[in-house]
Chains A and B, each alone.
Chain A
Amino acid sequence: LAKTTQPISMDSYEGQEVNITCSHNNIATNDYITWYQQFPSQGPRFIIQGYKTKVTNEVASLFIPADRKSSTLSLPRVSLSDTAVYYCLVGDREKLTFGTGTRLTIIP
């Protein structure tokens, strides 16, 4: 399974765009890149998934360069409610492998 590396923590002010980058140098051809969000005392929640180029949904955008060795989750105009842990996961097998995640704190 591809190992992922992402910042342990990030701070941002309300209303700003936040970009969280994840490195996955050993990503395999069949691997997808998936991001989950977790609030305290809740289970992880799916945000977005992609294979290559750019994916956008109502919550976030995911940018994946051609070599797929990294990916960037972009959250537009964050609010206090976006304070959470964000996990980058890579794999194609039927189980999710969570890393330490990035603890994002939004400052008023």
Chain B
Amino acid sequence: EAGVTQFPSHSVIEKGQTVTLRCDPISGHDNLYWYRRVMGKEIKFLLHFVKESKQDESGMPNNRFLAERTGGTYSTLKVQPAELEDSGVYFCASSQEPVYTEAFFGQGTRLTVV
């Protein structure tokens, strides 16, 4: 069974540009989460989808970040325009049940804004 897949694995963009990260969850997992770790900080929750609906987006830092999950399958996280402080590793996770059971994480996308 394929795990959670994230694209790209690395991205380097200039400040002000737009970047779109993609996450393919494990097939059949209704719950999809985005997390990120910025330099030197802890892994922080961004948002949670249940199927195509945003269940909790309390962790989204500002309106430069837009997450979508059309059709309840893969998800995208767009940063527009990117700022230097957006640099970090963005993780996606999915689970069949709510996350107090086992959540499966992707390998992450390392975003560098220069």
Contacts and interface: CB of A to CB of B under 8 A. Distances in A.
Contact of B105 (A44, A92, A95, A100): A44
B100 A91 contact: yes
Residue of B4, B43, B102 with most partner-chain A CB within 10 A: B43
Contacts of A94: 31, 48, 55-56, 98-100
Residue of A46, A92, A94, A95 with most partner-chain B CB within 10 A: A95
Contacts of A46: 102-104
B107 A43 contact: yes
Contacts of A91: 100
Interface residues of A, number: 19
Contacts of B108: 41-43
B79 interface: no
A49 interface: yes
A13 interface: no
Interface of B: 4, 31, 33, 35, 42-45, 48, 55-56, 59, 91, 93, 98-108
Interface of A: 32, 34, 41-46, 49, 87, 91-92, 94-100
